Structure 1
Amino acid sequence: MVTLQHFEVEDFIPIKQLRDDFSELAKNGAVIVSGSQAHFPQGFDFINNSFIHYGLGNLFFDQMDNWLRKSTIDVHYFYNGKYVNNEIYPIINEDYGQPRFMTNEESNQFMRKMFENSFYFLNDNS
C-alpha cells in the first residue's frame, strides 16, 4: 500500500496531472489506485488489470454543499492473492458528517454523473 497526497480540485473531472500520475502507478503494477484527496467524487478508469478511482469524495467531512456531501465507499475483493471484484456504495452526508447510503433514486443520479466523468484511458490501455 502506498499513500499519496495530490492536488485538490473541486470538480468531478480529475485534472490531467492526476490522471497521468494514477495511470503511471497502474502501469507500474498497482492493482488499485484510489484517490482520497478529492472532496468532489470523481470517476473511474481501468488500465491493464488495474482499477482506478480518481476520488472518493467526502466520506468523513462535514461540508454540506450539494456535491460535497456525496461520496463512495469502495469495497475490494481478493481471492487467492488476486484482485477479483469491487463494489461501490454511494453515500450522502446529512446533518454535518452523518453518512447514510443513498436511496435508489439518489444513487442512480449520482452514479450516472460518476460514469459521465470516467474512462479516460478506456481506449488507450497501453
Structure 2
Amino acid sequence: FHYVPTRFVTVDGKGQLSASEASSQWAGKKVIAATGLGQPSQFFNLVHSLGLECEAINVADHAALDLEAIENAFQPDIVVITAKDAVKLEMESCNNVWVLEIEAELPDSLYLAIEQCLKQVSI
C-alpha cells in the first residue's frame, strides 16, 4: 500500500487547503514538517512529494511535539504535522500548525485476495 495526501487542515478544523493550494500559498514561506512517527521519512517524503520545500524535524516515536521549542528555534511560518501528532497538542499553541490528512491506498490485488478468502468461507 501507499499513502495518498487528501488535504491540509488546521488543528482546530476551521481551515483547509488542498495540496495544490498549500503549495501555492506557502511558496517562499518557511515551512517545518514535524512528527513523532516511528518511520518519519515516509511523512517527510510525502510532504516533499507535494512540492513543499520544508525542513524536517522528528522526535521519538509517540513523543509529543514541543511547538514552543520549534517556534523559538526555527521561527516557521507554517508547521505541518500528522494527525497522530495533532491529538497531543494544546489548541492555543497551534495558530500556524496544519495537519496533513492522508489515506492508505491499497492495491487491487489485496482486495481480490480478500474477496477470494471470503468466498472460501462462504461469508
Bucket of the pairwise TM-score, normalised by the shorter protein: under 0.3
State the TM-score, normalizing by the size of structure 2: 0.27
With CA pairs under 8 Å and 6+ residues apart, which has the higher RCO, 1 or 2? Answer: 2
Would you tell me which structure has more helix in proportion to its own residues? 2
If you compute each CA radius of gyration, which structure gives the higher value, 1 or 2? 2
